[in-house]
């Protein structure tokens, strides 16, 4: 089925937008310091597969078409700019080679790399571009600003595990980095990545009626993801290190945009890196792919702390996304407005929830003050006022809004069937939705059609109109991730489930799991009802970490604890040369070298038999 053009209601809404169009400073800043572009800006894996294609966004020129919110078109035009840029002499960024930036800080003899992007291939291409124009400086350190994959996954493109092990390259990260980096990519990784496929619009065609970006950047690359563990954990604000002659002053910012995050200042360059806590958009307090709810109160507090500690000696602020801001007056304005943005959302949501309003109601009520509305960098291209307010409500009050009638609703399919039956069947529901569509009330049309499709997922007219409706919502969205969600929903209604695009957990990340984390993964994989009658114990010994564990499974609950090497043995013992070998065992490989199983192997088979595999292609927009 073909896409539909924007309706008159969407075009009219675009024409009525009130935007600060006279403020064009972002275009000057985004172009400032430009040295060279990567031409063509297409990066391939070793097997020839394209893992990054920024040239696909060449259509982002001129005025916004009616199929894209004009504010989002402007943002995408800015984030699609790519190449090597000088931030100040001695600090350089490659932008537009991934959803994030990679930065290079020149020391006395080498270069410090900040945030090596999502994958090996794009990080290597960025380093090559830098060296082509700045010389073949050796990498002396890598800094991970925080624990999200777009800030560490490409590390093998700029260094190697051997160079780190030999002490040639230091790896710095905030305390707690490894735990959070691994947990986020493994524990709920399958569900998050399936939803991230929607959020980032990975399968969508690039173009004015399709994918135009993600607000934070164009999108994530899709190559090899790796992880080298930090050699230096930054523990406290005020901590200072000298790397290759360059002094770095650190500020901890945990629980903000990531559970483990930090800012840092370079006195030599008068430059402040704000990680992902002060970028040119409103960020997420609860990302649509799923995550722990972030703390806007702490976020605002750390921005105030950064202003007090660094602003009066900072000439440029740069971040892990978007373009820098220069000049102390503008830096103070930028950081203060960013701080006020998160503080206002937090404080006003709390004020209104204490007056009895629910998260859904507050999201419709809350309006930003004029100063925040008139600054481009506070617009909701990635996060939104709507879903951030609901996240704050969830953080404090949970999922339940207090109304007993909403305490125990039917699940979506059962609820849909009852609603549709009450209205008179799917046909009348579709008729009501068609009228709402004609009236430009696409939100109501989507609600009706959601019920229609969940009551009868094969109803062709309901699916077609639902896809058309989601498409119109996409055309009207300023928020890039909302647009991508709407368009992906429309695509699956028309063409079927496209599954998950990308790798759930790379072998390199899985290899960094601690034994305890591996057992946690097993625990959340146990099919409880199938395991109700099992009562088994097994011992697992890891030669590489010199540790032994007793694992029990009873009442569908897996418990693990460390034991001494001379403890009484369990029903079955599994001895492994490496942690990674255990993952092979769970996949059914009992013949790999470095594996020894003794005792009752039927116990091991029974244990493995109740572990479920996650489904990377579960339905979202259909039942």
pLDDT tens figures, 268-304: 999 999 999 999 999 999 999 999 999 999 999 999 9
Residue 546: CB partners within 8 Å, gap ≥ 6? none
Residues 531 and 556 sit within 8 Å (Cβ to Cβ): yes
**Among 84, 83, 143, 86, CA closest to 112:** 143
Backbone angles phi, psi at 29, to 5 degrees: -70, -40
Q: Which of 284, 304, 339 is the last residue of a domain?
A: 339
User: How many C-beta atoms surround the C-beta of residue 53 within 10 A?
Assistant: 17
Q: Which of 313, 339, 365 is the last residue of a domain?
A: 339
Q: What is the mean predicted confidence (pLDDT) over 306-330? A: 98
pLDDT in tens, 226-253: 999 999 999 999 999 999 999 999 999 9
In a domain, 561, yes or no: yes
Tell me the three state secondary structure of residue 276: coil
Distance CA 80, CA 57 (A): 7
Question: DSSP strand E in 450-600: where?
Answer: 535-542, 547-554, 557-563, 572-576, 595-599
Q: What is the mean predicted confidence (pLDDT) over 122-126? A: 98
What's the distance, CA 421 to chain centroid? 39
Distance CA 116, CA 98 (A): 10
In a domain, 399, yes or no: no
Give the alpha-carbon dihedral of 298, 261, 174, 321, to 10 degrees.
-150
Q: Residue 582: pLDDT above 90?
A: no
Instruction: Report long-range pairs for 4-12 (Cβ below 8 Å, ≥24 apart).
Output: 4/468, 4/471, 4/472, 5/66, 5/67, 5/209, 6/66, 6/67, 6/472, 6/475, 7/440, 7/472, 8/440, 9/439, 9/440, 9/442, 9/472, 10/66, 10/67, 10/440, 10/472, 10/475, 10/476, 11/66
Domain that holds residue 554: 513-610
What pLDDT does residue 595 have? 86
Distance CA 383, CA 98 (A): 19
Backbone angles phi, psi at 310, to 5 degrees: -125, -25
Q: Residue 416: pLDDT above 90?
A: yes
Residue with tokens 């090497």: 565
**Among 76, 129, 79, 75, CA closest to 104:** 129
Distance CA 487, CA 198 (A): 8
Give me the chain's average pLDDT, please. Answer: 95
Distance CA 444, CA 11 (A): 19
The secondary structure of residue 285, as a DSSP letter, is S
Highest mean pLDDT among 159-168, 188-197, 585-594: 159-168
In a domain, 620, yes or no: no
pLDDT in tens, 516-559: 989 998 999 999 999 999 999 999 999 998 999 999 999 999 99
pLDDT in tens, 604-621: 999 999 999 999 999 999
At 138, which helix (H) or strand (E)?
none
pTM, to two decimals: 0.96
User: How many C-beta atoms surround the C-beta of residue 500 within 10 A?
Assistant: 24
503 pLDDT tier (thresholds 50, 70, 90) = low
What pLDDT does residue 470 have? 98
Distance CA 221, CA 119 (A): 7
In a domain, 455, yes or no: no
User: How many C-beta atoms surround the C-beta of residue 23 within 10 A?
Assistant: 11
Whichever domain contains 589, its CATH number is 3.30.1050.10
Whichever domain contains 221, its CATH number is 3.60.15.30
In a domain, 444, yes or no: no
Residues 223 and 121 sit within 8 Å (Cβ to Cβ): yes
In a domain, 597, yes or no: yes
What pLDDT does residue 504 have? 57
**Paired residues of 206 in beta bridges:** 211
Q: What is the mean predicted confidence (pLDDT) over 496-500? A: 94
What's the distance, CA 263 to chain centroid? 19
In a domain, 590, yes or no: yes
Distance CA 244, CA 123 (A): 21
387 pLDDT tier (thresholds 50, 70, 90) = very high
The percent of residues in the chain predicted with pLDDT above 90, rounded, is 88
Residues 169 and 163 sit within 8 Å (Cβ to Cβ): yes
What pLDDT does residue 509 have? 79
In a domain, 348, yes or no: no
Residues 138 and 108 sit within 8 Å (Cβ to Cβ): no
What pLDDT does residue 21 have? 84
Backbone angles phi, psi at 166, to 5 degrees: -80, 0
What pLDDT does residue 185 have? 75
Q: Which of 275, 304, 339 is the last residue of a domain?
A: 339
Bridge-based pairing of strands 271-273 and 316-318 is parallel
User: Both tokens of residue 216?
Assistant: 């934070």
User: Both tokens of residue 207?
Assistant: 């173009």
Backbone angles phi, psi at 621, to 5 degrees: -90, -10
Q: Residue 506: pLDDT above 80?
A: no
Distance CA 333, CA 168 (A): 40
What pLDDT does residue 593 have? 82
Give the alpha-carbon dihedral of 447, 450, 455, 456, to 10 degrees.
130
Q: What is the mean predicted confidence (pLDDT) over 78-83? A: 98
446 pLDDT tier (thresholds 50, 70, 90) = very high
Q: What is the mean predicted confidence (pLDDT) over 110-130? A: 98
Q: How far apart are the first and last CA of the chain?
A: 20
Tell me the three state secondary structure of residue 84: strand
Q: Residue 508: pLDDT above 90?
A: no
User: Both tokens of residue 341?
Assistant: 């943005």
Q: How many domains does the chain have?
A: 2
User: How many C-beta atoms surround the C-beta of residue 578 within 10 A?
Assistant: 15
Whether a cis peptide bond, with omega within 30° of 0, leads into 360 is no
Distance CA 393, CA 349 (A): 7
User: How many C-beta atoms surround the C-beta of residue 258 within 10 A?
Assistant: 26
Least reliable range by pLDDT among 45-59, 351-365, 366-380, 576-590: 576-590
Distance CA 151, CA 117 (A): 5
The percent of residues in the chain predicted with pLDDT above 70, rounded, is 99
The secondary structure of residue 5, as a DSSP letter, is P
Q: Residue 590: pLDDT above 80?
A: no
User: How many C-beta atoms surround the C-beta of residue 546 within 10 A?
Assistant: 8
Residue 579: CB partners within 8 Å, gap ≥ 6? 511, 513, 514, 515, 518, 542, 544, 545
Bridge-based pairing of strands 232-234 and 170-174 is parallel
């Amino acid at each position: 089925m073909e896409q539909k053009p924007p309706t008159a209601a969407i075009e009219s809404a675009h024409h009525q937008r009130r935007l600060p169009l006279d403020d064009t400073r972002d275009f000057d800043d985004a172009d400032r310091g430009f040295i060279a572009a990567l031409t063509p800006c297409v990066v391939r894996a070793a097997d020839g597969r394209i893992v990054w294609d920024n040239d696909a966004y060449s259509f982002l020129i001129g005025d916004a078409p009616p199929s894209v919110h004009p504010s989002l078109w402007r943002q995408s035009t800015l984030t699609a700019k790519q190449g090597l840029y000088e931030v100040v002499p001695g600090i350089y960024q490659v932008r537009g080679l991934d959803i994030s930036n990679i930065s290079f800080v020149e020391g006395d003899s080498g270069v410090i790399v900040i945030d090596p992007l999502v994958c090996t291939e794009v990080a290597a291409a960025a380093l090559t571009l830098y060296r082509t124009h700045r010389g073949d400086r050796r990498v002396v350190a890598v800094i991970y600003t925080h624990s999200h994959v777009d800030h560490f996954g490409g590390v093998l493109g700029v260094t190697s595990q051997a160079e780190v092990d030999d002490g040639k390259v230091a790896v710095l990260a905030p305390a707690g980095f490894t735990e959070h980096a691994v947990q986020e990519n493994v524990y709920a990784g399958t569900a998050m990545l399936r939803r991230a496929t929607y959020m980032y619009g990975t399968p969508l065609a690039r173009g004015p009626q399709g994918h135009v970006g993600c607000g934070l950047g164009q999108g994530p690359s899709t190559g090899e993801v790796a992880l080298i563990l930090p050699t230096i954990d930054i523990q406290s604000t005020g901590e200072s290190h000298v790397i290759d002659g360059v002094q770095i002053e650190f500020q901890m910012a945990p629980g903000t945009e990531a559970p483990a995050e930090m800012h840092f200042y370079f006195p030599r360059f008068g430059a402040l890196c704000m990680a992902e806590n002060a970028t040119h958009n409103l960020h997420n307090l609860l990302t649509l792919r799923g995550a722990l709810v972030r703390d806007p109160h702490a976020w605002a507090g750390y921005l105030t702390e950064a202003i007090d500690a660094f602003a009066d000696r900072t000439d440029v602020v740069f971040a892990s996304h978007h373009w820098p801001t220069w000049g102390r007056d503008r830096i103070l304005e930028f950081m203060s407005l960013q701080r006020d943005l998160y503080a206002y959302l937090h404080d006003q949501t709390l004020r209104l929830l204490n007056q009895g309003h629910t998260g859904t109601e507050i999201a419709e009520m809350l309006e930003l003050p004029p100063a925040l509305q008139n600054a481009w960098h506070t617009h909701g291209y990635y996060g939104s006022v709507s879903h951030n307010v609901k996240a704050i409500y969830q953080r404090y009050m949970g999922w339940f809004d207090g109304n007993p009638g909403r305490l125990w609703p039917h699940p979506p399919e059962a609820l849909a069937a009852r609603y549709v039956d009450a209205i008179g069947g799917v046909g009348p529901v579709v008729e009501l939705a068609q009228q709402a569509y004609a009236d430009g009330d696409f939100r109501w049309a989507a609600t009706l059609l959601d019920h229609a499709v969940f009551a009868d997922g094969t109803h062709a007219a309901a699916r077609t109109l639902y896809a058309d409706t989601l498409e119109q919502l996409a055309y009207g969205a300023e928020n890039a991730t909302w647009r991508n969600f709407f368009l992906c929903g429309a695509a699956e209604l028309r063409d079927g489930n496209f599954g998950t695009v990308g790798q759930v957990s790379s072998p390199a990340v899985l290899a960094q799991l601690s034994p305890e984390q591996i057992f946690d993964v097993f625990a959340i994989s146990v099919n409880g009802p199938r395991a109700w009658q099992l009562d088994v114990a097994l011992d697992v010994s890891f030669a590489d970490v010199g540790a032994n564990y007793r694992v029990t499974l009873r009442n569908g609950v897996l418990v693990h604890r460390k034991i001494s090497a001379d403890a009484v043995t369990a029903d079955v013992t599994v001895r492994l040369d490496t942690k990674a070998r255990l993952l092979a065992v769970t996949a059914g490989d009992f013949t790999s070298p470095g594996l020894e199983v003794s005792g009752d192997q039927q116990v091991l088979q029974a244990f493995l038999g109740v572990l479920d595999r996650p489904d990377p292609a579960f339905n979202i927009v259909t039942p």
